[in-house]
A and B are shown apart, each in its own frame.
Chain A
């Protein structure tokens, strides 16, 4: 088998595998159970310390998870269910901070840090003319 054929075969196999993976990625499914878990992970258990209702074995959290499942069955949207809890308790019960208002910054700060970091890295690239004091000893 000639070298070029082998190369082409390898490329075809690589691309073929990649296509299968991409198809798998696109077909991602989401059941009601997934939805309940995802909503439950965004609402804090009011009687626990910093744990979401989806992650807490406490009675209160279980009861709230039941509410989530009922609302999903009733056809409520994720947003509506979360707003319902925020209204009944306080805004701080939602531990998934919205990308707006007084929690906008918590999202923006890390993103700004990435931008600043990239800027610093790119500015460290070698300049064409090195300064005299940079001559290695």
Chain B
């Protein structure tokens, strides 16, 4: 029942997406047709289909409908409610259903905008057509090679789970499993995993909106700034979610994986980081186009690249190519995504090339030392950063594919490249926002960064005096404090001037200034978040302490100024897992800091146990206890001390949330939009 209705929903979405594509293109060519009703029907059909697909998948999960293969292999009767829901996107087929649902949400949002705009909005009609095409592809996948509602034709002898593909020898034996194989153990271990993928997907898929508008603009040969200014809020919205999604992923691996790491330059992480870098470059360069009419072609390139990178990311994480190029052929979705990627790239870059003559040649740079100049530098750094990550991620695959040898490219490579790039980015972040447009004299810029430079030097000198000699820490403090100083001085100075002029309080003046230019100040708050994050990385990466300790029951060991005592072992049965753990008491100078229960969880469907570390966040840092092995008489723990690591999460979420300021705050008075481009 669920399977039939779910599959029918997918078919409805396919028809709806086809309708949006066809009617969208017709409406794009014919302004008379570009009205509300013409596109309404297919949009409604498409959205209902996408919602229906997710609904019936979730319904099947919650009612333990093991006649569906996906559910039999990704859930079980004992899976807790939250993780049953999350299983809807935990595995390949389900994740594409979620992708489709988010895409439907954005399609509906674009349609709602189109519905409210005046008749004859050909740009939005064309954008809807492009979104329809993308939707057609993803729902086409669901209807064919990645069917989430495929029925289970054969179960194992114990009736648990569903036999897949290559193992189905007795394909004529039809029987339905009596129990599911359960959710992925790593997924079930922490509630963050329920949050991280949807957040990331909203970011990923949201970036298809500016892409769709860009392609529509190219098709219509209206290559001015309209597509860009109209999609600005969507870009910021998607960027916020992408940022938050990446930070959530880092927080998840920190809380779950048990080695205290939050970022490993793992290909899956890189896959989400690359579009973030290019989308960030795009956010910045779109300001240059909006303000100065420059970089029009470049913005097309960036938005196309961003979208292509989201598809590449999906391909890398979903095709199995990462484990080895040789596992690539085993999944049907890999080649399908690769073909889509090639079509997107060839199609959009070909279109871009054929429309190049219609793109107004932009005014040239007056001077490299100007706000535009720093923006260009920022774009260079961010795109090179993305290119470096791309090279490092794909290089081993290419070597393996084209020669007999294998090579490894990992963290040391990425760190060595990323650290100097990040320092330069922080530097640009400090200087850029206070550099005037057109031409910035060194004197004006120095005047504005003088105090922040001194404060930053003072902070770093203080660290030296306190005995810190780690160069990355010192440079990190220098750069991060500099950026924070510039932002604070900038606001303080402006508020003082405004307050004196209008005779109002400085706080009131500051609030007015920040409301008066929400895009600029939203960006500044975001920069503040990035600087805080950088500080968190500098502290936790360079001053962390770690030890492996074995403690006999009742004994105490010293670690980083703490006394760690092993009290006793405990174990209990929880829904879906068996938990073994240690009661640990930690004191400092005799007073109790806390009692902790680092655990090992044994899930029914996996042999290896998965640790749940205990993390205690204090002001000066995190005490992190991870259980390695335990028996009643002794326990072996990994203990870590990460100074100020919470700054990473605070900074990261602040950077993401700052986007709200950029589009939710209404300007008090309407300013005349400057549009230096021809439309």
Q: Are B464 and A97 in contact (CB under 8 A)?
A: no
Instruction: For the complex of A and B, list the 3 residue pairs with the smallest distance between their C-beta atoms, beginning with the closest.
Output: A95-B410, A24-B464, A17-B457
Q: Given A50-B264, A109-B387, A110-B384, is A20 in contact with B464 using a C-beta cutoff of 8 Å? A: yes
Interface residues of B in 434-468 (CB under 8 A from A): 450, 453-454, 457-458, 460-461, 463-465, 468
Interface centre among A25, A29, A41, A122 (most CB of B within 10 A): A25
Q: Given A24-B464, A50-B264, A97-B413, is A55 in contact with B259 using a C-beta cutoff of 8 Å? A: yes
Interface residues of B in 16-47 (CB under 8 A from A): none
Q: Least Cβ distance of A3 to chain B in Å?
A: 14
Q: Are A109 and B391 in contact (CB under 8 A)?
A: yes
- Interface footprint category on A: 35 or more
With a cutoff of 8 Å between Cβ atoms, the chain A residues found around residue B376 in the complex are 121, 124
Q: Are A96 and B410 in contact (CB under 8 A)?
A: yes
Q: Are A57 and B258 in contact (CB under 8 A)?
A: yes
Q: Are A27 and B364 in contact (CB under 8 A)?
A: no
Q: Least Cβ distance of A16 to chain B in Å?
A: 8
Q: Are A110 and B387 in contact (CB under 8 A)?
A: yes
Q: Is B596 an interface residue (CB 8 A)?
A: no
The residue that A57 contacts in the complex, of B259, B266, B377, B410, with Cβ under 8 A, is B259
Q: Are A113 and B387 in contact (CB under 8 A)?
A: yes
With a cutoff of 8 Å between Cβ atoms, the chain B residues found around residue A107 in the complex are 413
Per-residue 0/1 for A88-119: is the Cβ within 8 Å of any B Cβ (1 yes, 0 no)?
00111111110000110111011001100110
Q: Are A137 and B678 in contact (CB under 8 A)?
A: yes
Q: Are B365 and A13 in contact (CB under 8 A)?
A: no
CA distance A80 to B542 in the complex (A): 25
Q: Are B411 and A52 in contact (CB under 8 A)?
A: yes
Q: Given A92-B407, A92-B408, A121-B380, is A134 in contact with B266 using a C-beta cutoff of 8 Å? A: no
Q: Is B548 an interface residue (CB 8 A)?
A: yes
Q: Are B474 and A24 in contact (CB under 8 A)?
A: yes
Interface residues of B in 388-424 (CB under 8 A from A): 388, 391-392, 395-396, 399, 403, 405-413, 417
Q: Are A50 and B267 in contact (CB under 8 A)?
A: yes
Q: Are B391 and A125 in contact (CB under 8 A)?
A: no
CA distance A53 to B109 in the complex (A): 47
With a cutoff of 8 Å between Cβ atoms, the chain A residues found around residue B403 in the complex are 102
Tally chain B residues at the interface, Cβ within 8 Å. 65
Interface residues of B in 350-382 (CB under 8 A from A): 361, 363-368, 376-377, 380
Interface centre among A20, A29, A109, A125 (most CB of B within 10 A): A20
Q: Is A18 an interface residue (CB 8 A)?
A: yes
A-B contact number at CB 8 A: 161
Q: Least Cβ distance of A6 to chain B in Å?
A: 12
Q: Are B396 and A92 in contact (CB under 8 A)?
A: yes
Q: Given A50-B266, A50-B267, A136-B363, is A91 in contact with B391 using a C-beta cutoff of 8 Å? A: no
Closest-by-CB residue of B relative to A62 is B548
With a cutoff of 8 Å between Cβ atoms, the chain B residues found around residue A96 in the complex are 408, 410, 412-413
What 15 new A-B contacts, CB under 8 Å, besides A21-B461, A57-B628? A21-B464, A25-B475, A41-B412, A42-B412, A50-B322, A52-B411, A55-B261, A92-B396, A97-B413, A102-B407, A106-B391, A109-B388, A114-B384, A121-B380, A137-B678
Closest-by-CB residue of A relative to B461 is A20
Closest-by-CB residue of B relative to A18 is B457
With a cutoff of 8 Å between Cβ atoms, the chain B residues found around residue A32 in the complex are none
Q: Are B377 and A121 in contact (CB under 8 A)?
A: yes
Per-residue 0/1 for B168-208: is the Cβ within 8 Å of any A Cβ (1 yes, 0 no)?
00000000000000000000000000000000000000000
Q: Are A103 and B454 in contact (CB under 8 A)?
A: no
| A-B contact list, 6 entries, CB within 8 Å | A24-B460, A24-B471, A25-B475, A44-B410, A55-B264, A110-B387
Q: Least Cβ distance of B379 to chain A in Å?
A: 8
Q: Are A121 and B368 in contact (CB under 8 A)?
A: yes
Q: Least Cβ distance of B431 to chain A in Å?
A: 16
The residue that A17 contacts in the complex, of B267, B454, B468, B678, with Cβ under 8 A, is B454
Q: Are A29 and B469 in contact (CB under 8 A)?
A: yes
Q: Is A79 an interface residue (CB 8 A)?
A: no
Q: Is B323 an interface residue (CB 8 A)?
A: yes
Q: Is B478 an interface residue (CB 8 A)?
A: yes
The residue that A124 contacts in the complex, of B365, B413, B478, with Cβ under 8 A, is B365
With a cutoff of 8 Å between Cβ atoms, the chain A residues found around residue B470 in the complex are 28
Q: Is B51 an interface residue (CB 8 A)?
A: no
Q: Are A24 and B626 in contact (CB under 8 A)?
A: no
Q: Is B517 an interface residue (CB 8 A)?
A: no
Q: Given A102-B399, A103-B409, is A125 in contact with B365 using a C-beta cutoff of 8 Å? A: yes
Q: Is B565 an interface residue (CB 8 A)?
A: no
CA distance A125 to B392 in the complex (A): 32
Q: Are B264 and A51 in contact (CB under 8 A)?
A: yes
Q: Least Cβ distance of A10 to chain B in Å?
A: 8
Q: Is B569 an interface residue (CB 8 A)?
A: no
